[in-house]
């Protein structure tokens, strides 16, 4: 290194030290330099104008406060894994008296520049995925642009098709669009628009098909900026639903919901997630999801003009809590998972039944292992009609495989899960049953245990298990033996 270069660096360091020590000295922000990030001019103007307009002759500590707000604004976008903001002397605005010496006039503000470096999270806009299980297969296509309007708005399009090889039919088709747009002056708030269309063949468990089209419009609030996601969402949902293609053997409960109806609801959701992961395998932390829905639906649309009573909304309140707690020990060689779910519907019209699409169903690999999809609990004839309340809990013990690194997302596991659904007139009756007769409740519920192999990474998820139903209830459709699920993501 040349002597001139070394001297320049020492001078620069001395200038920065002087600047940092003068926290009350007036400074003037001359320029903001940004490296990385792709935003529109309008977004940059709304982002930077507040700090540029207040940067005339203000103390350095006040400018630092404004820069912290700017950093938070960028963090709320969720686009960057690292954001660094530094201030430096603007040497072009200082009076130069020699090659390496600068000074500012006494009493004048110090000219500085702010340098922002944005390290963006890699994004794959187009992707496809597939899932194969022992009873069906699905494929999907996803388009995600987290900055599609160049203002930190995100766009997600997800199309999913599910195939039943036994009946050779597409038993599920879903088209889902989600748009999130941040508020201009309050980036922790986002407007959310989520239209969705779905078609489900439910004949394997309830003798009918379901078709729905509707959407959700609301506001989302990010309550935290650290790694623990804390998100509150409130909004309005409107859905037009059709129960059709009723089988000849369908029960009275299914026939009662046949035809079209419209459901209008106010939905609130609170999510918290502090899960730490190896790959995509959770090792420590807590996750919970609390949803409350106040809704009403009418009877068949065709009868609205004919019968005033049918056009009135059947009102209900629906609450669901989901909780997971992961805990690892012995250098992450072993992990325990405790999960608990509970939900209840309180009908505000005592003489009206709850629509089958709103009721709680249990069964399947993603719900209650050891039982067929939606085939646990309450039945009417041969149809599983779900309940107005439910509970499900389980304990899983994961262990590292010998001779494989504990950083690998491949684990052996043992599990036991318990659950059931019920019909109660109100939430109070259900809570009394849970608290006063919990022993009988568990003993009389659907129970299964098993062991398996799990692998979770961003590109692949494997679940291979052998299940042993422990309960022997005539109303349940148990599924003992081998079950598997393989999900793959393609970028």
Note the pLDDT tens digit of each residue in 230-245: 899 999 999 999 999 9
Determine the Cα angle at 312 with ends 306 and 317, to 5°. Answer: 155
CA separation for the pair 109, 221 (Å, rounded): 39
When comparing pLDDT for 456 and 4, which is higher?
Answer: 456
Give how far Cα 21 sits from Cα of 15, 17, 24, 415, Å: 10, 6, 9, 59
For residues 108-126, give the mean pLDDT: 81
Residue with token string 């309450």: 378
pLDDT at residue number 3: 39
Give whichever of 42-46, 213-217, 308-312 has the largest mean pLDDT: 213-217
Q: Are residues 72 and 162 in the same domain?
A: no
Last residue of a domain, one of 120, 146, 164: 120
**Model pLDDT for residues 26-36, shown as the tens digit of each residue:** 777 878 888 88
End-to-end CA distance of the chain, in Å? 46
- High-pLDDT (> 90) share of the chain, %: 47
For residues 227 and 171, give the distance between their C-alpha atoms in angstroms, rounded to a whole number. Answer: 38
Q: How is 236-259 classified by DSSP, letter by letter? A: EEEEEEEEE---TT--HHHHHT-E
Q: Is residue 314 within 8 Å of residue 296, measured between CB atoms?
A: yes
Cβ neighbours of 422 (radius 10 Å): 19
pLDDT number for residue 194: 97
Same structural domain for residues 270 and 416?
yes
pLDDT value, residue 167:
80
> Of 56, 91, 120, which marks where a domain is finished?
120
Q: What are the two backbone dihedrals, phi and then psi, of residue 212, each rounded to the nearest 5 degrees? A: -140, 150
Q: How many separate domains does the chain show?
A: 2
For the residues 152-166, what does the mean pLDDT come to?
92
Q: How far is the C-alpha of 49 from the C-alpha of 34, rounded, in Å?
A: 14
353-398 pLDDT, tens digit per residue, is 889 999 999 999 889 999 999 999 999 989 999 999 999 999 999 9
Give the chain's radius of gyration (CA, Å).
Answer: 29
Provide DSSP, 144-212.
EETTTTSSS-EEEEEEEEEEETTTTEEEEEEEEEEEEEE-SS-TTEEEEEEEEEEEEE-HHHHSSEEEE
455 and 382 fall within a common domain:
yes
- 138 & 113 share domain: no
- Same-domain pairing of 407 and 315: yes
Q: Region 154-165: what's the mean pLDDT?
A: 93
Token pair of 418 as six digits: 């318990």
What is the 8-class DSSP label of residue 71?
Answer: H
What percent of the chain has pLDDT above 70? 86
Residues 42 and 146 in one domain: no
Structural domain range at position 48: 3-120
pTM: 0.84
In the prediction, which pLDDT does 227 show? 61
At 86 the pLDDT is 85
Give me the pLDDT at residue 398, please: 96
Are the C-beta atoms of 417 and 393 separated by less than 8 Å?
yes
93 and 51 within one domain: yes
419-475 per-position pLDDT tens digit: 999 988 666 777 777 777 777 778 889 999 999 999 998 889 999 999 999 998 999
CATH value at residue 480: 2.40.160.50
Among candidate residues 88, 120, 152, the one where a domain is terminated: 120
83 shares a domain with 21: yes
Tell me the CB-side half-sphere exposure of residue 465, using CA atoms within 13 A.
28
Give mean pLDDT, residues 77-86.
Answer: 84
Angstrom distance (rounded) from CA 320 to CA 226: 26
Residue-wise pLDDT tens digits, 239-283: 999 999 999 989 998 998 899 999 999 999 999 999 998 878 899
The verdict on 314 and 408 lying in the same domain is yes
Q: At what angle do helices 41-53 and 60-75 cross, to 10 degrees?
A: 160
Q: In the structure, what pLDDT confidence band is assigned to residue 154 with cuts at 50, 70 and 90?
A: very high
User: DSSP strand E in 223-358: where?
Assistant: 229-244, 259-273, 276-278, 281-297, 314-329, 334-347
């Amino acid at each position: 290194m040349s002597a001139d270069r070394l001297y320049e660096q020492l001078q620069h360091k001395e200038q920065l030290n002087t600047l940092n020590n003068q926290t009350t000295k007036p400074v003037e922000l001359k320029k903001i330099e940004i490296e990385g990030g792709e935003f529109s001019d309008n977004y940059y103007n709304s982002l930077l104008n507040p700090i540029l307009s207040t940067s005339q002759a203000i103390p350095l500590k006040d400018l630092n406060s404004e820069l912290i707000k700017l950093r938070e604004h960028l963090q709320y976008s969720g686009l960057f894994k690292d954001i660094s903001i530094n201030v430096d002397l603007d040497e072009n605005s200082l009076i130069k008296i020699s090659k390496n010496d600068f000074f500012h006039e006494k009493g004048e503000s110090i000219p500085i520049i702010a340098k922002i470096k944005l390290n963006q999270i890699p994004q794959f806009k187009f992707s496809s995925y597939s899932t194969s299980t022992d009873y069906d297969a699905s494929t999907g296509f996803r388009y995600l642009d987290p900055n599609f309007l160049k203002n930190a708005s995100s766009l997600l399009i997800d199309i999913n098709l599910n195939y039943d090889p036994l009946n050779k039919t597409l038993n599920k088709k879903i088209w889902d669009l989600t748009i999130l747009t941040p508020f201009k002056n309050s980036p922790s708030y986002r407007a959310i628009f989520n239209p969705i269309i779905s078609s489900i063949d439910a004949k394997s468990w309830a003798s009918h098909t379901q078709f729905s089209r509707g959407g959700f419009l609301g506001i989302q609030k990010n309550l935290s900026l650290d790694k623990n996601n804390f998100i509150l969402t409130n909004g309005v949902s409107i859905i037009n639903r059709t129960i059709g293609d009723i089988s000849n053997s369908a029960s009275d409960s299914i026939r009662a919901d046949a035809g079209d109806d419209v459901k209008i609801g106010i939905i609130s959701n609170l999510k918290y997630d502090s899960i730490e992961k190896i790959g995509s395998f959770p090792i420590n932390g807590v996750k919970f999801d609390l949803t409350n829905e106040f809704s009403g639906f009418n009877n068949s649309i065709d009868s609205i003009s004919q019968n005033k009573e049918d056009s009135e909304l059947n009102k209900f309140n629906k609450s669901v809590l989901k909780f997971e707690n992961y805990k690892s020990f012995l250098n992450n060689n072993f992990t325990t998972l405790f999960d608990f779910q509970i939900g209840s519907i309180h009908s505000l019209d005592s003489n009206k039944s709850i629509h089958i699409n709103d009721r709680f169903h249990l069964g399947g690999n993603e719900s209650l292992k050891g039982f067929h999809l939606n085939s646990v609990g309450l039945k009417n004839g041969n149809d599983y009609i779900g309940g107005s309340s439910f509970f499900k809990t389980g304990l899983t013990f994961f262990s590292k495989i010998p001779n494989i690194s504990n950083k690998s997302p491949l684990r052996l596991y043992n599990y036991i899960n318990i659950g059931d659904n019920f019909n109660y007139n109100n939430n109070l009756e259900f809570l009394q049953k849970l608290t006063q007769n919990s022993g009988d409740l568990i003993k009389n519920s659907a129970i299964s245990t098993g062991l398996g192999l799990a692998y979770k990474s961003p590109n692949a998820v494997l679940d291979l298990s052998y299940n042993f139903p422990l309960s022997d209830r005539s109303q349940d459709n148990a599924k003992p033996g081998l079950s598997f699920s393989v999900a793959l993501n393609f970028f």
